[in-house]
Amino acid sequence: MTPFEEAYLLCNREFDLIPGLLSFDEPFYSVDLQDLEDYPAADVVRTFSALDHVTVVSQGEEHGYDWFKWRWRWEREDRLIEWDFSVFEPEDDSSRVYWGGSQLSALCTFADLMRVWNTVQIRYPAVWLHDGEDTRMYTPHSFLETFALPALQPALSHADASIRARAEQELAAYRVLGLRDK
């Protein structure tokens, strides 16, 4: 990462990527989830495995506890995101297995994480970032507003014009990725 990225764009956190409702009013917490969208586990595995810049780190199988062996890594230069896989256990042998969520470890820029998440959300629109510590679920806007914008704020008002200009470019990218103006 460049010094600018390390200072103002670094996302070095753990989150969960989880299925939920198609929409919700914020703030929203996973403990309040009553119903959620069902995404077939096998389909999600294929989608994750086909993402750009993604490598399958550990391959599971599509039955029993072997689902939990799946692991992926998105990697570009020195930035990475790693995640695992969980399922909701079927109620009986004839039931389908649905994706239950994935724990993410991010050491990348906020925009990197958003791009991966946005790509997943195109296929699965009810997938959200979740903070396991406080159980809050984030939309792209609230994630960027809560985490990315505060990190970028010092660069937006920096004395160095070149740093301010780069920060404005990042802010424009955040708007494309889901940040809304107030």
Instruction: Please list the rounded mean pLDDT of every run of 10 residues in the chain (182 residues).
Output: 97 98 96 93 96 96 79 97 91 82 98 98 98 96 98 98 98 98 81
Cβ atoms 120, 85 nearer than 8 A: no
Say what the pLDDT of residue 89 is.
77
Residue 157: enclosing H or E segment and its boundaries? none
* Per-residue model confidence (pLDDT) at position 35: 87
Would you call 94 helix, strand, or coil by DSSP? coil
pLDDT of residue 96: 85
Two structure tokens written together for 135 = 């159980």
**Looking at this protein, which amino acid is placed at residue 175?**
R
Prediction pTM value = 0.95
